[in-house]
Chain A
């Protein structure tokens, strides 16, 4: 069954703690993306990766870090530098080239204790 999985579904972070959100895809897609959604807001791009071992900052990269060591995996770390981490985090992927349709995982809700 092809798709994008994100884990965990809910994640709690304590003050000063780094947490890592997992994103895995078995669609053989080249590009992967991380978005953040806040209530009443659209999706804002945090980081993206077009190929393995390469990634680029999106619009709101401060306080986040990523890695892309494998084609299937694109984990996102929310660092203690991110002062307002409570949000719904979405991972997406798309195949290389056209069209630009991105396919999304189920999301992870991050809450701060």
Chain B
């Protein structure tokens, strides 16, 4: 039973346009959410996070939006660059009762075409 779902296995975007990656979760106890970027044969690198007390967090070209009522978050990348081509993982954590362990989605492969 997947608690964190990334329903789009892949996404293709033109360079300079916006990339929107989506993530849904089922556990209402999740209160901290993260996005990681991963290149093939490398470890994931942390991109951006958001606490459930916020609905938006921005860092440069990356913005994460959280809709708690819909149990949905999204990562916006503007403008998209070819170097952004990678697999993006959404992860969630419940700070109480789970020792802060992360639950990961299956990832979305983003391709940014020049």
Contact = CB atoms under 8 A, between A and B. Distances in A.
Interface of A: 4, 6, 31, 33, 40-45, 48, 50, 56, 58, 88, 90, 92, 94, 98-107, 109
B22 interface: no
A44 to B, nearest CB: 8
Contacts of B42: 106-107
Contact of B43 (A48, A99, A104): A104
Contacts, number: 58
Nearest to A98: B95
Contact of B32 (A31, A41, A48, A99): A99
Contacts of A41: 106
A56 B99 CA distance: 11
A100 B41 contact: no
Contact of A43 (B9, B49, B89, B100): B89
A51 to B, nearest CB: 11
Contacts of B46: 101-103
Of B32, B101, B106, the most chain A CB neighbours within 10 A belong to B101
Contact of A90 (B44, B100, B106): B44
